[in-house]
Every structure is written in structure tokens, then in C-alpha cells.
A and B are shown apart, each in its own frame.
Chain A
Amino acid sequence: MTTQTPAVVAEDLRKRYGTTTALDGFDLTVPAGTVCGILGPNGAGKTTAVRVLATLLRFDGGRARVAGHDVARDPAAVRGAIGLTGQYAAVDDILSGRQNLVLFGRLHHLRPRAAKRRADELLERFGLVEAADKSAKDYSGGMRRRLDLAASLIRTPKVLFLDEPTTGLDPRSRNQLWDAVRELVGGGTTVLLTTQYLEEADQLADRISVVDHGRVVAEGTSDELKRKIGADRVEVVVRDAADLGEAARLVGRATAAPPETDPDVRKVSAPVADRVAALAEVMRTLQAARITVEDIGVRRPTLDEAFLQITGHRAVS
């Protein structure tokens, strides 16, 4: 990719609701054509950030540009370039799925014929043809989500905001939605998605920003974030719980770092710098001490652990 202007730039965004600070110096840069995942616990400020960037919410301080337009000064231009699927489906409950899509098509200034055609295409693409003429209030949660996503794709947006797009979806619907997102990105759309699912960020996002208390506390690719919280870990499971203390002492000596023990699963683990050398050394000392080992290995930390490390609490999932 060439040196294009980033699709989203937020600098020092601030937003308060009364005494609650929702955004507290929020910074973000999303290069055009990439997927940015915003990961954060409940109340971190994810929805607030998305609503500010999508021009739905005024902010108290900072600057933001989306698709090259200033969010505060030229919101109409921003609206012309974005699509938004909010945390709660923004569709008309009384109208049918088709009527919804035609309505939004007309409001996007498509001619009547084109609006109908676009509605049909989207119904087809999101598997809603059979339910097309049912009231949206009779849709299942997954169908509403898909209709909502379809509604934000009437005109292929330059930047698409997805606020927890798969919360409450079954695995199949989730995969469908992920595929749709990948297809869009293939077509050049930039996607900013918030999620509480680490797996979702891991799967879809090129880069991840971890948000807590209204600001980005860590940023990088999934691998970078994992690396940031430390090295690989060697893990040893002993057969006899009585050996656990001795095993921990030996592992600690071999890895030169304080190990953690988990008595429930008779596991000892410790961070290591050189995976192969550490593994060999741990095996040798344990054998010498005649401790029977049930399982041994070296593994990378999960994104979940990265998250826990960075924010001090676990992501809800």
C-alpha cells in the first residue's frame, strides 16, 4: 500500500457524560484498506468512540478525521463516506426487511428502481430472501444483525464501523459475518470494529487497539501484543501433586524467572527467553530429580492473557 492518508485519525478525543469520563485522550490511526480491532471491557468507551467518529455524538475535545474529512467541521462529508452498524440494530421494526433496505436506499438518494435492485442484491447476499417481507420485529437476533449490516452497505462505504457486530450470534452467523467483512476489505473498504471477543480481533483485525477507561492502552498486531506481555512460557504438568513444589523450584532455577504454579492441574509455568534451550534444561533437571512429567511444552501467550496483562482484568467472553 502506498502512503495514503489514513482512513481514520483520532487525536486526543475527549468525551464526558456528566461526571463519567467516557473518552479520556483517545488516539487512533487506521491505515486505509485495513481492519482495526478495538478491544476493551464493558464501559471502556468503545461505543462512544465509534459514535463520535460516525458523527452521531459531539465530543468535548480533540480532533478526528474520517476518510479525509474533519468529523466536527464537515460531518455531512463523513456521513457520505461511512457505513455504521451499531451495537443495537438500527432498523425500522415495523417495516419488512425489504422495505427497510429500499427506504435506506432512497435516503441514500438512489432512484426507486436502483433502490429496489440494491435491496434485492443485499437480501440475497445476507440470506434474507425468505424473510424479506416479514416485519423486522419478527426477525431473530442474527437476522436483525445481518439486515443491519446490509443497511450499512447500501452504498459501499469507504469506512465501515462495526460496534460489536457478532455479539449474540451463533457460530455460523458469526462466520458469515466475518466472511462479509473480509469480502468488503478485499474491495478496499477500511473497517473499524469493536469487540469483546479476542478471537474476533485475532481473526479479522490487522491491528488491534486495546481500550480501557477511555484511552488506548496498547496497540499493535495480535502477535506484537502477545509478545509485548512477555516471552514464551514453558509449561510442565507433573503426575504426582506432591512433586509440585520441588518441580517449581527446579523450573525456576532452569528459567531464571519466578514460576507460577496451578495446583488444580498440577502445572508449573515460567517465562523463558530461549525456548529450545530452556525446554531441554527443564527436562534434564526434572529427570535428574526423578519427577514424573505428564506433559511438557513451550507455548505463546493467548491474546486473552495479553489482554489481562495490559488492562488488569479479563475480557468478558
Chain B
Amino acid sequence: MSALRWGIADGWTMTRRNMAHVVRAPEEIVIYFSLPIMFVLVFGYVFGSGMAVPGGGNYREYLLPGVFVMTMLYGLGATATGVAVDVSRGVVDRFRAIDMARSALLVGRSGADLLRALLEMATLVVCGLLVGWQWRHGVGDALAAVALVLLLRLALTWVGIYLGLVVPNPDTVSVIVFPVAFPLTALSNVFVAPELMPHWLGTVSAWNPLSATVAASRELFGNPGTGGDSWVAQHPLLLSIAWPAVLIAIFAPLAVRRYQRLSR
């Protein structure tokens, strides 16, 4: 019991350490927030004019939940870089030589990045409202949608932590993340509805974990482009909880194992 308590306390201490980093290096966060804003503008206005929404509706309103999720996916790069930088620095030796919760470094990374994601979501919601996006159901549903997006981000922090522990050095992270993240968003319902894709591409897109969260949040926000005949399209809520749960169940233990193996 007290092990769990210290696990949480130490994880929170490390979360605060990572937040203090952000405060001491604020220029990083400016670059970080400009990315989602750019996504909204570029995809909403430049490409948006030529895009169709199944069942009709405003494309930017269709797009925004997709941009929320895409921003969460790109956050994975920051998580992985953060962890890779941490373990490449000498300070990790001190963390490992103190009798503190072994999980704290990783939990603290996950916690801090989740807090950062919360700020990102706030920025994106404001941007969205400015370009004509809105939630059409109650505030409760809207908050539930945001919670689902953050749940996906939580799962992605563990993917990012694992990635950060396996890359040979911090610079490798962006080389891996971007080439994987871009096709992953293209092959989902973020920009284009799977129904409008060639058959097999549509199936892959519909099963993409990102699509589940996007579809579920579109439904909860009351944004257009939801529904469909397939089983996947019928159960976005279930999938938007199941996918992150599966990702966490796989990557959290992998990451912890990998971290413990630092003492080869």
C-alpha cells in the first residue's frame, strides 16, 4: 500500500520536474503550440475547400476532431524525445541510485505530457471555435469527447516512452516518428471519411485506432461525418476506449521492463 502511495507521490514529483523544464524553456512550448494551430489553418482552409463530408456538413467542423487526435499523435514525438534525453543524461543515474519508486521517471513523463496535452486541447478548442467548429450536444458530451482524446494521448505517452527507451539517441526520434505518424493520420478518418476511400484502404482506415477516437468524439461533439454500416463504424465509443487500453497494456509493461534493463 505504501509502495503504491510512494509510486504516486514520486510520479507526481517527477511530473512537476518536467513541468518546471517547460517553464524554464518556454520557447519550446511556442514551437509546440504553433503546430496544431498550423494544422487547423492548413487543412481547414487550403485543402478544406475540395473535401467532401459524407452525409453533408461543414468540412472544418468535420476536420477539427481529427486535428485534435492528430495533435495527440504528434505529441508522441515529444514524449519519446523527452525520455531519450533523460536517459542519455547523467541525471538518470541519480534517480536510479535513490531509493524512490522505480516507475517515477516514466510515470512523471506520462503525467507531464498529459498535462501538456490538456493545454494543447484548450488551444485547439479556442482555434476551432474561431474557425467555425462547435459542439452541438451538451457540455457534458463535449467534455467526454475531450476525455476520450486525452485517453488516447495517455496511451500514446506509453508508446512514446517505450520508443524513447529503445532509440539509440534523442535525435533518432523525429526520424522515426514523422514518417510513421503522417501515413497513420492519412490512413484514418482524420481528413477523409473511410467510405470515400477505395475498399481495402477504407477498411484499414476504419480499424485505425486513431479513427475510433476521432469517430467517437465527432459523435459526442455532434459533428458531421459519423455513422456507417460496418461494425467498426457502429461502435466508435467502445473502440475508443478499447484501443487505448490495449496500447497501454502492451506498451507500459514493455517500457518498464526496458527501463529496468538500463542496468545491463
Query: Which 9 residue pairs spanning A and B have beta carbons closest together?
Result: A90-B94, A79-B99, A80-B99, A90-B90, A90-B93, A107-B100, A84-B97, A106-B13, A88-B90
- In the docked arrangement, what's the CA distance between A240 and B157, Å? 79
Over the window 206-228 of chain B, the binary record of Cβ atoms lying under 8 Å from chain A Cβ atoms (1 yes, 0 no) is: 00000000000000000000000
List 7 interface pairs A-B (beta carbons < 8 Å), by A numbering.
A55-B97, A56-B263, A80-B99, A86-B94, A103-B13, A135-B24, A151-B94
**B22's closest neighbor in chain A, by CB?**
A94
CB B36 to nearest CB in A, in angstroms, measures 24
Chain B residues within 8 Å of chain A by Cβ, number: 25
Residues of B within 8 A of A257 (CB): none
- In the docked arrangement, what's the CA distance between A58 and B9, Å? 27
Which of A88, A89, A106, A151 has most chain B Cβ within 10 Å?
A106
Residue B25 at the chain A interface, CB threshold 8 Å = yes
CB B259 to nearest CB in A, in angstroms, measures 13
Question: Are A93 and B98 in contact (CB-based, < 8 A)?
Answer: no
Over the window 93-134 of chain B, the binary record of Cβ atoms lying under 8 Å from chain A Cβ atoms (1 yes, 0 no) is: 111111110001000000000000000000000000000000
Instruction: Please list the residues of chain A having a beta carbon within 8 angstroms of any beta carbon in chain B.
Output: 54-58, 76-77, 79-80, 82, 84, 86, 88-95, 99, 103-104, 106-109, 135, 151-152
Q: A57-B263, A91-B90 are in contact. List 12 more A-B contacts (CB 8 A).
A: A55-B96, A55-B97, A58-B264, A79-B98, A80-B99, A84-B94, A93-B89, A95-B21, A104-B94, A108-B98, A108-B99, A135-B24
**A57's closest neighbor in chain B, by CB?**
B263
Which of B10, B92, B93, B99 has most chain A Cβ within 10 Å?
B99
- In the docked arrangement, what's the CA distance between A86 and B90, Å? 9
Residues of A within 8 A of B13 (CB): 103, 106-107
Residues of B within 8 A of A57 (CB): 263-264
Residues of A within 8 A of B104 (CB): 107
- In the docked arrangement, what's the CA distance between A77 and B99, Å? 8
**A88's closest neighbor in chain B, by CB?**
B90
Residue B6 at the chain A interface, CB threshold 8 Å = yes
Over the window 133-171 of chain B, the binary record of Cβ atoms lying under 8 Å from chain A Cβ atoms (1 yes, 0 no) is: 000000000000000000000000000000000000000
Residues of A within 8 A of B20 (CB): 94-95, 99
**A52's closest neighbor in chain B, by CB?**
B263
Question: Are B99 and A76 in contact (CB-based, < 8 A)?
Answer: yes
Question: Are B100 and A93 in contact (CB-based, < 8 A)?
Answer: no
Which of B6, B20, B104 has most chain A Cβ within 10 Å?
B20
- In the docked arrangement, what's the CA distance between A152 and B91, Å? 12
Per a CB cutoff under 8 Å, which of B6, B9, B25, B91 touches A92? B91
Q: Evaluate whether A107 and B263 lie within 8 angstroms (CB atoms) in the complex, with A88-B90, A94-B25, A95-B17 already known.
A: no
